Amino acid sequence: MKYKWKLHPGDYALGENEKFYGDMEAKGWRLIKRGEYRSKFERVEPSRTRYRVEVAGTSFSDGPALPEEQIAVYEDCGWEYVTSRGMSHYFRAPEGSDAPEFYADPRQQAETLKGLRRRLLVGTLISLGLFAALASMILTISGGTVELTDGVRRYWLIAPGLVVFYCLLLASGIAADTIDRWQIGRTYRRLKQGVPLDHAPKGRGRVRFLLVHGLRWASCLFLALTVLQLVTIQHGPMPPQPDGPYMVLSDVGWTGERTDFMGNTSRRDHTRTFLSEYWDTREYVENPGQVAATIYQDVYRLAPWMDPMDWVDSLTVKQTFVKDLDDYTPVEIEGLDAAWVVEGGMEAVAVKGRLVACVNYLDGAYSTERLVDVLDALAERWAAYG
Amino acid sequence: MPEQGPMTEAMYYILLALLKPGHGYGMMRRIRELSGDRLVMGPGTLYGGLSRMSKDGWIALTGEEGRRKNYAITDAGREALLAEYGRLKRLVADGTVLEEEQG
């Protein structure tokens, strides 16, 4: 026996599905099973066949199955029960047979769509509720809409694939929900007005398929790109001398042994995207007889067409305590285009050319002068880096 | 008891058919006979009508033969059918003015 799978119209395009299966049978492919996206057909002699969809669950509390008794009545009338998917059930009868149409009055058929419409509405409300809960959770964690926007902008620089993936996934969900509700709503209103269901409409519900699945496939592509980026990130221990536009603690006089800090070791990660090259470093050094020093650096080299001054106030979002550039004090540092420090704090920010650095320096002193020393050392490194 | 509104044609004929207890397909054939082939009731319409009238207590399940269920009209259903029949008779009686006008 020869079998074939073929993409079918969306679940809520009732007439389109009826025509699709009738056309397939006329070509010698008989429906045996409906999957999520594709239907399975078996090879038969071509014949003219009527297919009809019945929607189960006229009230919200009903399940998706069609009652056995209802199927028995339909079969007694000459309809063959073929298969189902969700709340949609598929029947067929030879063209020209005396199997009567399910409904003589479209208004009666409209009643069968009420349960489905309610379910779709509840589904939408649950999705919106979950989205609102998730959004408020993210806003709480990130500290507000400004921080959230800055966080997204930062991720756009270092992992644009991830941002595009989320946006496309969200868009596909919204598109699917909107089209399904619009499609079934339009069918319901027409039936309610007494317009019979069109069993042979033009088109095959391709718009929904192309839009929703196009967005989903595109989101998968960007997820794959993000995974590819993740596996190509260079993780490694902090090299003795920098291999990028960042500094090491020995540049500011910490020449002791590198040590662990709260279970972390000194390390350097490096990745690049079409928008930026990014170094993320953590270094811990302990000089004999002194407290340990710590430096965290997030250094970005932006694409040539990007202006670092447009981005610097978003990139400070990852700083430990002071995340808003307005809370920093500008300082003049030779060799830097712009620089800021948190007075009596541990954060500093520097910009030169296409480079942006967000630095957290901690040696227990919380001294503005030491932060200026750190920025001077960074300026020297950047001068050497070119 | 609130005044009963007009019945749909489908409900009226299903109740008429169930004056003799029967199952779905039997009812469809009987409805066709009763209406002199004028009304071919779709299985969806029939099943929808049975569900609704069963909930309203106008018909009741009397037994099962495999997947088929047998129904019969209840006293409440009979009352409703009689009320509808009376209403339709009055409509027809009121319409006699049309015949008089046409001579």
To the nearest whole number, what is the mean pLDDT of chain A? Answer: 90
Contact A250, A282 (CB under 8 A): no
Structure tokens given for A73: 């009545």
Give the Cα separation of A16 and A353 in Å (integer): 58
Task: From chain B, pick out residues whose CB is under 8 angstroms from the CB of A108.
Answer: 10, 44-45, 48
Give the pLDDT confidence score for residue A140 in this predicted structure. 77
CA angle A111, A116, A120 (to 5 degrees): 140
Q: Which stretches of chain B sit within 8 Å of chain A by CB?
A: 8, 10, 24-25, 28, 39-48, 51, 66-69
Examine the pLDDT at B82 and tell me if it is beyond 90.
yes
Lowest mean pLDDT among A69-83, A284-298, A371-385, B45-59: A284-298
Q: Is the dihedral of CA A112, A115, A121, A127 positive or negative?
A: negative
Asked if A241 and A372 sit in the same domain, the reply is yes
Does some domain include residue B1? Answer: no
Does some domain include residue B56? Answer: yes
Which 3 state secondary structure label does DSSP give B12? helix
Highest mean pLDDT among A27-31, A206-210, A270-274: A27-31
Q: What is the domain count for chain A?
A: 3
Does some domain include residue B4? Answer: no
Average pLDDT over residues A308-314: 94
Asked if A129 and A221 sit in the same domain, the reply is yes
Does some domain include residue A251? Answer: yes
Does some domain include residue B39? Answer: yes
Give the Cα separation of A244 and A241 in Å (integer): 9
Q: Which helix (H) or strand (E) holds B70?
A: strand B68-73
Asked if A284 and A222 sit in the same domain, the reply is no
A68 touches chain B (CB under 8 A): yes
Does some domain include residue B33? Answer: yes
Asked if A376 and A241 sit in the same domain, the reply is yes
Q: How many residues does chain B have?
A: 103
Does some domain include residue A276? Answer: yes
Has this prediction a pTM greater than 0.80? Answer: no
Angstroms from A192 CA to nearest CA on chain B: 14
Asked if A127 and A203 sit in the same domain, the reply is yes
Give the Cα separation of A349 and A308 in Å (integer): 12
* CATH assignment at residue B64: 1.10.10.10
Q: What is the domain count for chain B?
A: 1
Does some domain include residue B22? Answer: yes
Across the interface, do B51 and A58 touch by the CB < 8 Å criterion? yes
Contact A336, A309 (CB under 8 A): no
Nearest residue of A to residue B32, measured between CA atoms: A100
Give the Cα separation of A342 and B49 in Å (integer): 77
Asked if A269 and A335 sit in the same domain, the reply is yes
Contact A8, A18 (CB under 8 A): no
**A73: nearest CB among B39, B40, B47:** B47
Q: Which domain holds residue A199?
A: 114-232
Name the A residues in 48-67 with CB < 8 Å from any B CB. 54, 58
Average pLDDT over residues A91-115: 91
Structure tokens given for A128: 């919106």
Last residue of a domain, one of A232, A258, A291: A232
Asked if A222 and A248 sit in the same domain, the reply is no
Does some domain include residue A307? Answer: yes
Examine the pLDDT at A386 and tell me if it is beyond 70.
no
Asked if A381 and A239 sit in the same domain, the reply is yes
Does some domain include residue A34? Answer: yes
**A103: nearest CB among B24, B44, B69:** B44
Average pLDDT over residues A196-217: 84
Across the interface, do A58 and B48 touch by the CB < 8 Å criterion? yes
Contact A102, A73 (CB under 8 A): no
Last residue of a domain, one of A232, A261, A278: A232
Angstroms from B80 CA to nearest CA on chain A: 21
| A37-69: pLDDT as tens digits | 899 999 999 999 999 999 987 665 667 788 888
Task: From chain A, pick out residues whose CB is under 8 angstroms from the CB of B24.
Answer: 69, 72-73, 76
Q: Which domain holds residue B41?
A: 9-102
Give the Cα separation of A188 and A192 in Å (integer): 6
| A313-332: pLDDT as tens digits | 999 999 989 999 999 999 99
Nearest residue of A to residue B68, measured between CA atoms: A69
Angstroms from A37 CA to nearest CA on chain B: 27
Across the interface, do A104 and B24 touch by the CB < 8 Å criterion? no
Asked if A85 and A57 sit in the same domain, the reply is yes
Does some domain include residue B32? Answer: yes
Across the interface, do A103 and B46 touch by the CB < 8 Å criterion? no
Average pLDDT over residues A216-230: 93
Asked if A376 and A242 sit in the same domain, the reply is yes
Examine the pLDDT at A136 and tell me if it is beyond 80.
yes
Q: Which of B47, B50, B53, B71 to mutate to test the interface with A (most CBs of A within 10 A)?
A: B47
Does some domain include residue A108? Answer: no
Does some domain include residue B2? Answer: no
Which 3 state secondary structure label does DSSP give B97? helix
Contact A330, A338 (CB under 8 A): yes
Q: Is the dihedral of CA A196, A202, A204, A210 positive or negative?
A: negative
A81 touches chain B (CB under 8 A): no
To the nearest whole number, what is the mean pLDDT of chain B? Answer: 90
Cα pseudo-dihedral A176, A177, A178, A183, rounded to 10: 80
